[in-house]
């Protein structure tokens, strides 16, 4: 492999880090009282390039997600077939939509509901490592209360196969420990 490809990957990783820092600062300036954590991944060179390109665009390697509860305090999760886990509804920001607009659209597509806007639940950091390269991106997770509870999946990407309300989170829930922490400190103290 020539030096140009190596330099380009380093430059891309640096651009992604700079955008991630700007995006993290934007969220930190606009919200308070949220949980933070870091997730570390060793990835292949093609995957590293993909997440770095996404992060360079808006700071978000995986888009935006929403932590939604119903009146019973149950948490909404959707079944993501590609990762074979229960996850929070969410996805990439399209075009000129705001982060919050993207989160609302993804919630409608993946679960068929609307939710109130109650700020930011979690602001995580996703770190990516590949050979001698590293970069990171922001994982924002908004919070809201469901305005309806009848769930329907109409995911245009075909990644989501099911949606459900959970009091006890399934063992194969992504970021399960952090969601438990959020529930203990936020949801039940507000009821």
Give the sign of the dihedral formed by CA 21, CA 37, CA 109, CA 51: positive
Are 63 and 128 in contact, with CB atoms under 8 Å apart? Answer: no
pLDDT in tens, 44-69: 999 999 999 999 999 999 999 999 99
Q: What is the pTM assigned to this prediction?
A: 0.90
Q: What phi and psi, each to the nearest 5 degrees, are found at residue 13? A: -60, -40
pLDDT at 4 over 90: no
With b meaning 16 or more CB within 10 Å and e meaning fewer, what string describes 73-102? Answer: ebbbbbbbeeeebbbbbbbebeeeeebbeb
pLDDT at 7: 65
pLDDT in tens, 96-136: 999 999 999 999 999 999 999 999 999 999 999 999 999 99
Closest CA to 91 of 17, 159, 175, 148: 159
Name the class of domain 3-190: alpha beta
Site of tokens 């009848």: 150
Mean pLDDT across 21-43:
95
* Distance separating alpha carbons of residues 117 and 120, to the nearest angstrom: 9
Please provide the DSSP assignment of 51-98 as one string.
Answer: HHHHHHHHS-SS-EEEEEE-TT-PEEEEEETTTTEEE-SEEPPPTT--
Q: How does the average pLDDT of the chain come out, rounded?
A: 92
Are 121 and 36 in contact, with CB atoms under 8 Å apart? Answer: no
* H or E, element range at 165: strand 160-166
Please provide the DSSP assignment of 109-145 as one string.
Answer: HHHS--B----EEEEEEEEEEETTEEEEEEEEEEEEE
* Distance separating alpha carbons of residues 85 and 100, to the nearest angstrom: 24
Residue ranges covered by each domain of the chain: 3-190
């Amino acid at each position: 492999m020539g030096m140009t490809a190596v330099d380009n990957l380093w430059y891309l990783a640096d651009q992604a880090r700079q955008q991630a820092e700007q995006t993290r600062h934007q969220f930190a300036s606009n919200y308070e009282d949220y949980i933070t954590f870091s997730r570390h991944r060793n990835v292949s060179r093609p995957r590293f390039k993909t997440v770095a390109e996404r992060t360079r665009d808006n700071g978000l390697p995986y888009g935006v997600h929403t932590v939604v509860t119903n009146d019973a305090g149950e948490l909404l999760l959707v079944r993501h077939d590609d990762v074979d886990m229960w996850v929070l509804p969410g996805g990439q920001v399209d075009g000129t939509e705001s982060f919050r607009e993207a989160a609302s659209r993804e919630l409608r597509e993946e679960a068929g509901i609307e939710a109130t806007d109650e700020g930011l639940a979690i602001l995580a950091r996703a770190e990516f490592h590949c050979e001698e390269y590293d970069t990171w991106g922001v994982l924002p997770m908004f919070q809201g209360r469901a305005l309806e509870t009848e769930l329907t999946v109409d995911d245009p990407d075909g990644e989501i196969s099911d949606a459900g309300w959970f009091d006890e989170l399934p063992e194969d829930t992504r970021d399960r420990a952090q969601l438990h922490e959020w529930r203990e400190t936020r949801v039940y103290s507000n009821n």
